[in-house]
A and B are shown apart, each in its own frame.
Chain A
Amino acid sequence: MNEPLMSTNAAPVTVIDKPLVHRSLWSDALRRFRRNRLAMLGVAILFLLLFMAVFADVLAPYDFDRVFFTRRASTLPFTFPEHPLGLDGSSRDYLTRLIYGARTSMFVGIAVPTIAFLIGIPLGAISGYWGGRVDFLIQRVVDVMTAVPPLLFTIFLLSVMGSGVGNVIFALAITSWIEPTRLARAQFLTYRDREFVTAARALAAGDWRIILLHILPNAISPLLVAFTLAIPLAIFAEAGLSFLGIGITEPTPSWGKMVGSGIGSSIRVYYHLAMFPTILVALTMLGFSFVGDGLQEALDPSRSTR
């Protein structure tokens, strides 16, 4: 995979023809990705969910916090044509809540990995590139953070700070920067002593230039895969926390919370409360992991998981 890059880099004077190199690498990956049927199914699912999330206000028939006082709570689906999926425990339209739930999930799912990677990649890069005392320090922090089970720590943080979308994102980001840091560190460690870096250094490239322009482009594909795989984890974590009742607060809809309040003694009667959000969470998780696995196979065929 790195052959063309390395050979162009090794030639001392030629300017690297970046766009060309990149296009062939990425278009190769794209072709492999397109051939992967599961991955394409994943993309379709994700498009659907993103569409729901972005156009929630247009798609949803009502406001997500509108209570229908004249209707019985937890009305079953298909009883009233104006509420096709029934009503929830507080007599709110369930279809509306489900659609808006996509927005919450996607928001948390994208915000958390973004923050985590914005912290993790620089830390990992510094740690792996320079090594020494900085590396030691960062690694000890990572050690301490890994000692505490992440889920417990997140729950603990939320109990300290209180629930809500912002706090959920914050608490999840605090525990999820570790993985990108490790990954970036490992990547920078392997590339630090490669020939193309030595060559760049011989050309008097500064440390930051080497980090940003020479190593990072090479290290980006595993990080990208990790990013796609981190999204469903964040969504799962949010759903899980809300399920336990310490995540998203009312009236913001969250699928996890909906499953949580749907499970209970009334599940045999009001099956819809738990069933619909369950299906949606399952679809989301499947979609993201199909895409993540597909990306992994496309970008790094030698290390495919199967």
Chain B
Amino acid sequence: MTRYILGRTAALIFVMLAASAIVFVLMNNIPGGPFSLGERGYSPDALANLERKYGLDKPLLERYVNFVVGAVQFDFGYSTAVAGSPPVIDVILRTWPVTLQVGAYTIVLAFGLGLVMGTFAAYHRNSPLDNFITFTATLGIVLPNFIIATFLLFIFGFQNGWGDPNKIIIGPLTPGGTPVLGWDYFLPVITYALAPMALVARYTRAAVSEALGADYLRTARAKGLTDRTIMVRHVFRNAMIPLLTVLLPQIPNLLTGSLFIEVVYGIPGLGKFFVTSILNRDYPMTMALILLIAFFWGLTYLITDILYMVVDPRVRLTSSRAR
């Protein structure tokens, strides 16, 4: 087990290095650096100064090594596009909480409601409610985020002014700010939650109905266990296994934010910032965001696999599971 974890961690580090190298090389070999934008351009002297400031005059390999050494210490250099060229990490620390907050509400809503819906649908299979839940789930999975967002804007945005794209929502996590669950969060969270909620509901339904038909359940009933004990000790425990592997990887997505939702609803979070930084060719910023998000993903997959082994003894025995 320890060896497995160590091996996977080493693989994660290797993958991160390779991915960062690819992005780094691509980014540094494009015609048109961050300072070639704009009508006037810079004089050769000013350009040389700027390049020296951002370390762009050194050879590529040295720059990459410098970057990696810095990145390990969360030092990603200075933004080239944000006013005042603040350190990249400062900008990230300022925008991420906004995204995290929307993500946190979304996770609570999606997983909570999805589990309830899925379990209910499994216990009452083919009832009208089951059909309704399945229908919503399909819509949630199939329709793109920004399409749902636009529809919701049509339905609610008109009447109530919720999710007005011109209004800027700033995270009120601090006490005394606007209420934590203000209406401004309503549309983004609903939009954002629909797809993961649909996934959760769909997988819960499948997992719970499979567990409901299993032999050990009949045995448990025959032993005279109460419905509640059966549900908690038998149904849920077994239904957890597929849920864990499918659903845990959803979390980094939700925490790093959706570009589309943040753009549609004007949320000044990480996702919106990523788009702006790409459009402005803010390389240090882009690089940092890609790597952070990739790292977050990799970590979640690793944790998922370890949890999978903890929850399901069968996996532990046939250890070398190819992923």
Please tell me if the beta carbons of B150 and A278 are within 8 angstroms of each other in the complex.
yes
Please tell me if the beta carbons of B158 and A278 are within 8 angstroms of each other in the complex.
no
Please tell me if the beta carbons of A267 and B165 are within 8 angstroms of each other in the complex.
yes
Please tell me if the beta carbons of A274 and B26 are within 8 angstroms of each other in the complex.
no
Please tell me if the beta carbons of B134 and A155 are within 8 angstroms of each other in the complex.
no
Please tell me if the beta carbons of A239 and B259 are within 8 angstroms of each other in the complex.
no
A286 within 8 A of partner (CB): yes
Please tell me if the beta carbons of B144 and A289 are within 8 angstroms of each other in the complex.
no
Please tell me if the beta carbons of B293 and A149 are within 8 angstroms of each other in the complex.
yes
Please tell me if the beta carbons of B153 and A263 are within 8 angstroms of each other in the complex.
yes
Please tell me if the beta carbons of A144 and B22 are within 8 angstroms of each other in the complex.
yes
Residues of B within 8 A of A159 (CB): 278-279, 281, 286
B220 within 8 A of partner (CB): no
Size of chain A's interface in residues, with CB distance under 8 A?
42
What 0/1 readout, one digit per residue, does chain A (140-177) give for beta carbons within 8 Å of chain B? 10011001110111011101100000000000000000
Which residues from 124 to 168 on chain B have a C-beta closer than 8 Å to any C-beta of chain A?
134, 138, 141-144, 146-147, 150-151, 153-154, 157-158, 165-166
Give complex CA distance A92, B165 in Å. Answer: 25
B16 within 8 A of partner (CB): yes
Kindly identify which residue among B147, B259, B279 contacts A259, using a CB–CB cutoff of 8 Å.
B147
A148 in contact with B294 given A246-B278, A268-B158 (CB within 8 Å): yes
Please tell me if the beta carbons of A265 and B166 are within 8 angstroms of each other in the complex.
yes
A147 in contact with B263 given A268-B158, A282-B143, A285-B142 (CB within 8 Å): no
Which residues from 240 to 298 on chain A have a C-beta closer than 8 Å to any C-beta of chain B?
240, 243-246, 256, 259-260, 262-265, 267-268, 271, 274-275, 278, 281-282, 285-286, 289
A148 in contact with B19 given A156-B290, A244-B263, A259-B146 (CB within 8 Å): yes
B56 within 8 A of partner (CB): no
B30 within 8 A of partner (CB): yes
Please tell me if the beta carbons of B260 and A156 are within 8 angstroms of each other in the complex.
no
B264 within 8 A of partner (CB): yes
Please tell me if the beta carbons of A263 and B27 are within 8 angstroms of each other in the complex.
no
Kindly identify which residue among A143, A263, A282 contacts B264, using a CB–CB cutoff of 8 Å.
A263
A236 within 8 A of partner (CB): yes
Kindly identify which residue among A152, A236, A306 contacts B134, using a CB–CB cutoff of 8 Å.
A306
Residues of A within 8 A of B263 (CB): 243-244
Tell me what chain B mostly uses at the interface: helix, strand, loop, or mixed.
helix
Residues of B within 8 A of A286 (CB): 142-143
Please tell me if the beta carbons of A285 and B259 are within 8 angstroms of each other in the complex.
no
Which residues from 214 to 255 on chain A have a C-beta closer than 8 Å to any C-beta of chain B?
232, 236, 239-240, 243-246
Residues of A within 8 A of B225 (CB): none
B5 within 8 A of partner (CB): no
Please tell me if the beta carbons of A156 and B23 are within 8 angstroms of each other in the complex.
yes
- CB-CB nearest in chain A for B286: A156
Please tell me if the beta carbons of A160 and B15 are within 8 angstroms of each other in the complex.
no
A289 in contact with B290 given A244-B263, A265-B165 (CB within 8 Å): no
A244 in contact with B260 given A144-B22, A156-B23, A160-B27 (CB within 8 Å): yes
Size of chain B's interface in residues, with CB distance under 8 A?
45
Residue among B19, B142, B281 having the largest count of chain A Cβ atoms under 10 Å: B142
B275 within 8 A of partner (CB): yes
Give complex CA distance A305, B289 in Å. Answer: 35
Please tell me if the beta carbons of A152 and B293 are within 8 angstroms of each other in the complex.
yes
Give complex CA distance A151, B206 in Å. Answer: 29
What 0/1 readout, one digit per residue, does chain A (49-78) give for beta carbons within 8 Å of chain B? 000000000000000000000000000000
Please tell me if the beta carbons of B15 and A143 are within 8 angstroms of each other in the complex.
yes
Please tell me if the beta carbons of A156 and B144 are within 8 angstroms of each other in the complex.
no
Give complex CA distance A239, B143 in Å. Answer: 12
Please tell me if the beta carbons of B154 and A271 are within 8 angstroms of each other in the complex.
yes
Please tell me if the beta carbons of A153 and B290 are within 8 angstroms of each other in the complex.
yes
Residues of B within 8 A of A263 (CB): 150, 153, 165, 264
B65 within 8 A of partner (CB): no
Give complex CA distance A245, B289 in Å. Answer: 19
Please tell me if the beta carbons of A282 and B147 are within 8 angstroms of each other in the complex.
yes
Residues of B within 8 A of A268 (CB): 157-158
Distance in Å: Cβ of A138 to nearest Cβ of chain B: 13
Residues of A within 8 A of B141 (CB): 289
Please tell me if the beta carbons of A281 and B147 are within 8 angstroms of each other in the complex.
yes
What 0/1 readout, one digit per residue, does chain A (82-102) give for beta carbons within 8 Å of chain B? 000000000000000000000
Residues of A within 8 A of B259 (CB): 151, 155, 240, 244
Q: List 22 A-B contacts (CB under 8 A).
A: A143-B15, A144-B22, A147-B294, A147-B297, A147-B298, A149-B256, A155-B274, A156-B23, A156-B26, A157-B26, A160-B26, A243-B146, A244-B260, A245-B279, A246-B278, A262-B150, A263-B153, A274-B153, A275-B150, A278-B147, A278-B151, A285-B143
Beyond the given A240-B144, A265-B165, A285-B147, please list 8 additional residue pairs across the A-B interface where CB-CB is below 8 A: A144-B18, A144-B19, A149-B293, A160-B26, A239-B144, A263-B150, A278-B151, A305-B206
Chain B residues in the interface with A (C-beta under 8 A): 11, 15-16, 18-19, 22-23, 26-27, 30, 134, 138, 141-144, 146-147, 150-151, 153-154, 157-158, 165-166, 202, 206, 256, 259-260, 263-264, 274-275, 278-279, 281, 286, 289-290, 293-294, 297-298
